[in-house]
Amino acid sequence: MKGGAGDDVAGMSTTPAFAFDNSYARLPARFHARLDPTPVAGPRLIKVNRALAREMGLDPAALESAAGVAVLAGNAVPEGAAPLAAAYAGHQFGHFVPALGDGRAILLGEVVGPDGRRRDIQLKGSGPTPFSRRGDGRAALGPVLREYLVSEAMHALGIPTTRALAAVTTGEEVFRETALPGAIVARVASSHIRVGTFQYFAARGDIEGIRILADHAIARHYPEAATAENPYRAFLEGVVARQAALVAQWLLVGFIHGVMNTDNMSVAGETIDYGPCAFMDAYDPGAVFSSIDHGARYAYGNQPRIAQWNLTRLAETLLPLLAPEEEPALEVAKQALTGFGPAFQQAYIGGLARKIGLAAVQDGDADLAQDFLTLLAEAGADFTLAFRALGDDDALRVLFADPAPLDAWLARWRARLEADPQSPAQRQAMMRGANPAFIPRNHQVEAVIAAAVSRQDFGPFEELLAVLATPYEDQPGAERFQLPPKAEERVLATFCGT
């Protein structure tokens, strides 16, 4: 195609082609509000995620063209889109809110890529919707860059997550505590069905709505459940298993979601809604960064417990589908929820074992790994650096003011390695693949945002994004991105910025 799909012969750009197939828009009208994004004054491209665009069967050059940027900014609605704001409810910090919904995001539609995967394309920051309360439906540049960086870092770390397809600035200001540059992120997800979406229908006594939603979620995310003896039980078990594995993966890289409200939990098992999220530097099971998490409800080490709490809320909505009578339905729900603990433990302990170089988990390994974590907590050692340095005693010892307890642990560890079947080379490869060198450290993310907001300099964003794309590889020249913050660089609180 001459000049790429985005440009016609005269060099004028035409709207990029999306092969939309909008299954969520085809659900009954009470599932959503149909509306277009609100145009912005001066859209400018920050970035198109070319690799993701290609995976989705989209032409990156067309997205980068003026017509593509118009779509990404919400100024043009492409052919075949069915823009909508989804209805959902949710428990926010434990308090139920029966009507939340997409208040600053609009789903453009779904595309099925050449890989056969169906993905939502959603514009976040695209203007008011019937679900916007107080807010303006807009997003500031800082949170947009944060979501782009952290979600792409999570993906590169191998953790299920929504993705960032693109980001644009709007040429408009949004007003938070101060006026800030506005921006929009094009978010890609397997779907945007949340625990809170089920709660929306449950709160209205709309059992038919719950059934339609569950059937839709099963078809999209758990097709094997459709042929199970009890499809809704199989669905619940599937969500439980995926969330257990997801939270284990979060813990293994030091990720703190920050706002694990039920409306921020995807039934597809992807990390979603990056707000005041953070990666911890020094290991601390009680770590909290979110400025709004006063009760430390969503602290690092609380995340498994909260996931289970959220899944219990999901199970409650499914009760009418699980069995015709209440008592047996409760029994089915309880049994499905008991799957969380073992699934989490298996993923977490297995992951910790890989981080310390053990291929096969034996009795005592969980304690061995836990004792290392306790040493890190006592020393305030950097979580990421410590695991990456394991095996290089000199590099590891400098992280500890008093290396004596570490040396004692290292002796136990080496004794245990004797009984592990892997060769040293195999072990090293496994450990490097389990212990990233690079994570999106808060102080670096903040520096990227500061450069973009105060100087319109997106160079640091590009640089950090590139480093985070291969987090398990040593990257000569990028060593400074491995460094924890100096005292004066430490980020003590993160904000959702909405």
CA pair distance 356, 64, nearest whole angstrom:
43
Least distance from ligand AMP to the Cβ atom of residue 263, Å: 6
Binding partner of 59, given Mg ion, ligand AMP, none, CB within 5-8 angstroms per partner class: none
The residues in 248-277 that bind Mg ion, with binding defined as CB under 5 A, are: 264, 273
Residues 6+ apart with CB under 8 A from 491: 278, 289, 442, 443, 446, 485
CA pair distance 434, 353, nearest whole angstrom:
9
Kindly state whether residue 143 participates in binding ligand AMP, applying the rule CB under 6 A.
no
Least Cα distance to 238 among 249, 248, 252, 228 occurs for: 228
Least distance from ligand AMP to the Cβ atom of residue 132, Å: 4
- How many amino acids of this chain bind ligand AMP (CB under 6 A)? 18
Least distance from ligand AMP to the Cβ atom of residue 292, Å: 9
263 counts as catalytic: yes
- In the complex with ligand AMP, the residue whose CB is nearer, 176 or 432, is 176
Kindly state whether residue 6 participates in binding ligand AMP, applying the rule CB under 6 A.
no
- In the complex with Mg ion, the residue whose CB is nearer, 167 or 332, is 167
- DSSP bridge partners of 173: 181
Least distance from Mg ion to the Cβ atom of residue 189, Å: 12
CA pair distance 256, 258, nearest whole angstrom:
5
The residue from 60, 74, 137, 254 that contacts ligand AMP (CB under 6 A) is: 137
If residue 443 lies in a helix (H) or strand (E), which one and from where to where?
A: helix 442-455
CA pair distance 220, 324, nearest whole angstrom:
25
Four-residue CA torsion sign, 320, 323, 328, 334:
negative
Concatenate the DSSP letters of all residues of 284-323 into one string: -TT---BTT-TT-TT-GGGHHHHHHHHHHHHHHHHHHHH-
CA pair distance 455, 73, nearest whole angstrom:
21
- In the complex with ligand AMP, the residue whose CB is nearer, 13 or 498, is 498
The residue from 7, 59, 64, 136 that contacts ligand AMP (CB under 6 A) is: 136
CA pair distance 64, 42, nearest whole angstrom:
15
- Say which DSSP state 179 is in: E
Residue nearest to ligand AMP (CB): 135
The residues in 267-326 that bind Mg ion, with binding defined as CB under 5 A, are: 273
Binding partner of 236, given Mg ion, ligand AMP, none, CB within 5-8 angstroms per partner class: none
Neighbours of 34 (CB within 10 A): 11
Least distance from ligand AMP to the Cβ atom of residue 97, Å: 8
- In the complex with ligand AMP, the residue whose CB is nearer, 132 or 470, is 132
- How many amino acids of this chain bind Mg ion (CB under 5 A)? 2
Amino acid 199 reads Q
Kindly state whether residue 264 participates in binding ligand AMP, applying the rule CB under 6 A.
yes
Q: Which residue is catalytic, options 7, 59, 102, 263?
A: 263
The residues in 349-388 that bind ligand AMP, with binding defined as CB under 6 A, are: none
Binding partner of 138, given Mg ion, ligand AMP, none, CB within 5-8 angstroms per partner class: ligand AMP
If residue 203 lies in a helix (H) or strand (E), which one and from where to where?
A: helix 195-203
Residues 6+ apart with CB under 8 A from 356: 365, 368, 369, 372, 387, 390, 413, 431
CA pair distance 337, 159, nearest whole angstrom:
22
Kindly state whether residue 132 participates in binding ligand AMP, applying the rule CB under 6 A.
yes
- In the complex with ligand AMP, the residue whose CB is nearer, 103 or 339, is 103
The residues in 63-122 that bind ligand AMP, with binding defined as CB under 6 A, are: 100-104
Kindly state whether residue 135 participates in binding ligand AMP, applying the rule CB under 6 A.
yes
Residues 6+ apart with CB under 8 A from 375: 381, 400, 405, 406, 409
Applying CB under 5 A, which residues contact Mg ion? 264, 273
Which residues are part of the catalytic machinery?
263
Applying CB under 6 A, which residues contact ligand AMP? 100-104, 131-132, 135-138, 259, 263-264, 273, 275, 496, 498
